[in-house]
Every structure is written in C-alpha cells, then in structure tokens.
C-alpha cells in the first residue's frame, strides 16, 4: 500500500535540507538574482556536505544526483528509496531558492541521467563529477524525437556534430550528457545519450543566456564540431531497437520529471507561506473550519491555492515512490510535472495579485519567485507536452497516432 506522507526515515534529510535552504539559500537569494552568471561560491561547501550526507546513508539522495533504479524487479519489498529521498531533499532546497539548487555542484540533471541508465562501470567512472544535460536544439524544443545532432560510429569512438541550447549548468559542469541520433532516418529509436567531457576538442561554449528567472543558474549554448567521444561513454544500450523505440533514453525523464515537480512544490510552498504572512498582517482571517463561501475573497482564493498545492504534492510523491519500486511511472511522472508546474505559476502570480505592492516590489522575494516559477512549467517537457503524454497513455495511442 502506498502511504503518501513523507517517510519518517527521511526526517533527518528534511531537517538538514531545510537548514541549508534557510541559512544559506535564502540569505543570498536576491544577491545572485541580481548578479546573473556570477557563480555562488557559498555553494562550494555543500558539495562536501552532500557527500557526507550520502555517505551517512540515512540522507542519501539529498540532491538531483540521488535518483536511482529502485529495487530489483524480482523483489516483493515495498521501498522508499533514492528517488523519494531526492524528491524530499529537492522540495526543501527549492523552498530556499530554485536557481541555487540548480547551481549546486554535482547535482545536475545530467547526474540524474547517469544515475538512471548508466552501467556499473560508468557509474564508478563518473562518480563525484558534475554533469549537465543537453537535449534542446534551435529546431527542436519540446519534441525530443526531432533531435538533429548526429553521432557516427568511428572505430572505438563516436563523432558528434550539432548544436545544443538551454543547457542548465552547462558552463559550470564537468560533463555534459548530449542527446544525439545514430540515424535520422530511423527516428526515435536511434536517439542515444553520450557523456561528453568538458574540454573535448570541438565542444564549444558559444554563449550564456540572460533569463527571466533562476538567474543564479547558468544556462549555456554549445556547438559540437566533430567531437570525438569514446564509445564507452554511450549511456544505455548501443543497439538501435525499433521495437523498444525511444524508451531507453526517455527512462531518464521518468526519474527526473518528479524532481522538477518537486522543485515547483518547494517554490509553491515558499510562496504560500509568505502570502499567508502578508494576508494575516493585513487582517485577513483564514478559517479552515468555516465554509469557503462565508470567508473573504482573499481567504477563499488562498485556500484554493493550498488545495492545488496539496494535490500536486500527492501526485509527485506517488510518481517518485513508483520509481523506487520499479513500477512503470511515465504517466504519473508527467501528471505530477504538469500539475506541479502549472500550480507553481498560478500560485505565484495569484500571490502577487493578493499581496499588491508588497508582492510586486523587490522588498519581498515574491516577485522573484513569480519569475522563477515559469521555468518549472517549461523545462523537462512543457505543460502541453506533459498533457499530450498523459493523453497518449490514457488512450493507448502512439506518438504517431496522437500528435
């Protein structure tokens, strides 16, 4: 049976992550929002802290790199594992600041991809290194199957050519997990992911993006010109299996989409707490024992915002729990990402409206949170893409049948 309360065994992790968010992230949040592209040096100490938390066992999976494969398929054990612990940690850290979470050393989405699909030798070889993930291209946004970056086998190497944009932590990471196609004519089944070392000849950083939100996090664009990557750096099965299709590469998203939903939940909770404080200071009474229709408009709207947050939280916990227990969770991961992303944006904008000038000025973090919120509805698959995936799963349609 699934219990969708936060597991008690993660209480130490929750407490430690909340302290980091409160004592480190919140105090420097505005500083690095204003100093875009400046690396938050205060985060260097967290790399060692996270290593210690993971080595301690009870707080393993404190950041994005903590996701894993779950338990053995032949096991009857009901487990709360690394996916759920990563989610709990991410939720707390993003209560502090989303951009700073994305700037934490060795906690990139590329690390999640490696944790999800790498073999044992690769896990050991890339252990302790910061990995970004490069999927989006100038002509390929939400439709990952339209990737045009190519990978051509050449002896014991692959030669990569193409262009990648919107790579989170692309400048600061040591490795980049690059999605490329082995054969454009085959379609989705030919798309594979390759770990590319920074400094590899032909792998060129061309610019850093200026963004609406999450300004503490660097977002990079790359050009790949005859980049030679060892064949042993290909993640997953090197064979093109038309029957299996895109499933091997897309398995990464089944683990990372609940994490992005968790980022949205952490930010949403921060917004709700600050909005409640402002409303109560203004004399607004929020009474959970009284019908919503009898309360003020502001109180009624706030209660509705909380209800949306709670439904998104439960969906997200379910998706992470399923990943830990090796249950197919593609539908639940997309539902959680869609609900949490949309809720975060809606709640953040409604908070600005309810709090008026306080929410709109830089005297409060509410205006920053409203800017940060939008990316959580976009990256790792937009709202529209998630709804399309959910529809395909529920109706039993393929991508060719339902576009």
Residues with a known catalytic role: 380
Spatial CB neighbours of 31, under 8 Å, sequence gap ≥ 6: none
CA–CA dist 332, 384 (Å, integer): 15
Q: If DSSP codes are grouped into helix, strand and coil, which group holds residue 295?
A: coil
Spatial CB neighbours of 89, under 8 Å, sequence gap ≥ 6: 13, 14, 17, 59, 61, 62, 63, 66
Spatial CB neighbours of 48, under 8 Å, sequence gap ≥ 6: none
Q: Helix and strand tally (H, E) in the chain?
A: 13, 8
Helix (H) or strand (E) run with residue 48 in it: helix 44-55
- 8-state DSSP, 195: E
Spatial CB neighbours of 330, under 8 Å, sequence gap ≥ 6: 250, 253, 254, 389, 393
Q: Of 103, 96, 98, give the one whose Cα is nearest residue 25.
A: 96
CA–CA dist 214, 266 (Å, integer): 14
**Tokens read off for 367:** 């205006």
Q: If DSSP codes are grouped into helix, strand and coil, which group holds residue 155?
A: coil
Rounded to 10 degrees, the C-alpha dihedral 280/281/282/287 comes to: 10
CA–CA dist 98, 213 (Å, integer): 9
CA–CA dist 162, 165 (Å, integer): 10
């Amino acid at each position: 049976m699934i219990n969708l309360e936060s597991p008690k065994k993660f209480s130490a992790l929750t407490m430690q992550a909340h302290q980091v968010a409160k004592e480190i992230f919140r105090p420097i949040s505005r500083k690095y929002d204003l100093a875009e592209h400046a690396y938050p040096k205060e985060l260097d100490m967290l790399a060692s802290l996270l290593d210690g938390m993971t080595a301690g066992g009870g707080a393993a999976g404190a950041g994005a790199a903590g996701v894993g494969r779950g338990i053995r398929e032949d096991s009857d054990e009901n487990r709360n594992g690394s996916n759920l612990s990563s989610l709990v940690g991410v939720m707390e850290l993003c209560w502090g600041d989303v951009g700073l979470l994305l700037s934490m050393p060795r906690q990139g989405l590329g690390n999640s991809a490696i944790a999800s699909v790498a073999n044992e030798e690769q896990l050991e070889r890339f252990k302790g290194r910061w990995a970004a993930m490069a999927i989006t291209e100038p002509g390929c946004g939400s439709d990952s199957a339209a990737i045009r970056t190519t990978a051509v086998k050449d002896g014991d190497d692959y030669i990569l050519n193409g262009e990648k944009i919107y790579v989170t932590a692309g400048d600061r990471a040591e490795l980049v997990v690059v999605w490329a196609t082995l054969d454009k004519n085959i379609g989705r089944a030919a798309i594979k992911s390759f770990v590319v070392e920074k400094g590899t000849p032909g792998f060129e950083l061309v610019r850093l993006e200026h963004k609406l939100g999450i300004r503490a996090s660097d977002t990079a664009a790359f050009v790949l010109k005859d980049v030679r990557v060892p064949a042993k750096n290909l993640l997953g099965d090197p064979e093109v299996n038309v029957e299996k299709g895109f499933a091997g590469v897309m398995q990464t998203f089944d683990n990372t989409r609940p994490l992005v939903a968790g980022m949205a939940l952490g930010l949403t909770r921060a917004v709700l707490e600050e909005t409640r404080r402002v409303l109560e200071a203004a004399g607004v009474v929020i009474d959970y024992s009284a019908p919503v229709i009898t309360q003020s408009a502001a109180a009624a709207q706030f209660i509705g915002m909380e209800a949306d947050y709670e439904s998104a939280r439960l969906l997200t916990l379910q998706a992470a729990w399923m990943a830990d227990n090796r249950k197919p969770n593609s539908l639940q991961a997309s539902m959680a990402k869609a609900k949490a992303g949309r809720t975060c944006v809606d709640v953040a904008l409604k908070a600005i409206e309810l709090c008026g000038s306080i929410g709109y000025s830089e005297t409060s973090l509410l205006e920053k949170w409203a800017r940060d919120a939008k990316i959580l509805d976009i990256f790792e698959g937009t709202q529209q893409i998630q709804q399309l995936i959910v529809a395909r799963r529920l109706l039993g349609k393929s991508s060719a049948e339902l576009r």
